[in-house]
């Protein structure tokens, strides 16, 4: 009984820990679109492109000049 309780508590902590690792963001564009991301977008300063993963898991890029704001959600 005690072993099962400890395993359940460990599993709950693991799930909570994994859920807290990645923060999601909203990218607001200058033309009024809102792009939802999984994880933090990353800017490539040499190209000026902002890379992010969309909610479906697809890798995307947008020109940083088209971005008006990035907000953590």
CA-based torsion, 45, 46, 50, 52: positive or negative? negative
Structural domain tally of the chain? 1
Task: Write the pLDDT tens digit of every residue in 22-70.
Answer: 689 999 999 999 999 999 999 999 999 999 999 999 999 999 999 999 9
The answer to whether residues 59 and 53 touch, using CB atoms and an 8 Å cutoff, is yes
* Domain hosting residue 59, numbered range: 23-73
Residue 38 belongs to a domain with what CATH number? 2.30.30.100
Which pLDDT score is estimated for 73? 87
Which pLDDT score is estimated for 9? 55
pLDDT band at 5 (very low <50, low <70, confident <90, very high): low
Asked whether residue 11 is assigned to any structural domain, the reply reads no
Asked whether residue 7 is assigned to any structural domain, the reply reads no
68: left (phi over 0), alpha (psi -120 to 50) or beta: alpha
Q: How far apart are the C-alpha atoms of 66 and 31, rounded to whole Å? A: 8
Asked whether residue 46 is assigned to any structural domain, the reply reads yes
Asked whether residue 47 is assigned to any structural domain, the reply reads yes
Q: How far apart are the C-alpha atoms of 64 and 47, rounded to whole Å? A: 9
Asked whether residue 6 is assigned to any structural domain, the reply reads no
């Amino acid at each position: 009984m005690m072993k099962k309780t400890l395993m359940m508590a460990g599993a709950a902590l693991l799930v909570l820990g994994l859920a807290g690792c990645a923060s999601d963001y909203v990218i607001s564009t200058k033309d009024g679109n809102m792009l939802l991301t999984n994880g933090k977008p990353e800017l490539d300063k040499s190209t000026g492109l902002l890379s992010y993963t969309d909610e479906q898991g697809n890798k995307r890029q947008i020109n940083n000049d088209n971005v008006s704001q990035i907000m953590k959600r």
